[in-house]
Structure formats: structure tokens, C-alpha cells
Amino acid sequence: MKEEGILLAVSVALILLGIYLWRKGNARESFWQAFIETVGDIVLLEIPVFTTFRAWSVFLWFAGLVLFILFILMTVSKLIYT
């Protein structure tokens, strides 16, 4: 139970930090522009060389979402196998 709690707390913190960075970033940069830049940097293995706050925001949302999905899978598997 301790591991799931830590995973949930980290995923929520990453998502909230992503929201903060999104608001702090350039208002003229669209979501899709930041998304394409982030995916391009990940594909080219340029982590963590993102150039804008909004690109960092999208990256943190990805990381938070992946950790949240992992939290759900761990919780469901623990319920099934115990």
C-alpha cells in the first residue's frame, strides 16, 4: 500500500506542476505545437532539452499520466491476486 501511495502522490504532483508550467508559459504557443515539440524531443532522445515551459508541461503530463496508469494497474492487480 505504501508504494501505491507514493506513486499516486508523485503522479499528482507531476500533473499539478505541469499545469503550473502551462500557465507560466507563452500564451501564444498552442497545445499542439508544444505536443509536437515534446514528442520530437523524445523521439530524438533529447531529454530533457525542451525549450519552452509548455513543452516541459506536456512532458510532465505524460510522466504523471504514465505513473497514474501504473498506480491503477498495481492497485487492480493487488485486488485480483490477494
Q: Which long-range contacts (CB under 8 A, 24 or more apart) does 47-53 make?
A: 52/25, 52/26, 53/21, 53/22, 53/24, 53/25, 53/26
Determine the distance from the C-alpha atom of residue 66 to the mean position of all C-alpha atoms in its chain, rounded to a whole number: 7
To the nearest whole number, what is the mean pLDDT of the chain?
86
> Is 90 exceeded by the pLDDT of residue 40?
no
Q: Give the pLDDT of residue 47.
A: 63
**Per-residue model confidence as pLDDT tens digits over 7-36:** 999 999 999 999 998 898 888 888 888 888
pLDDT band at 71 (very low <50, low <70, confident <90, very high): very high
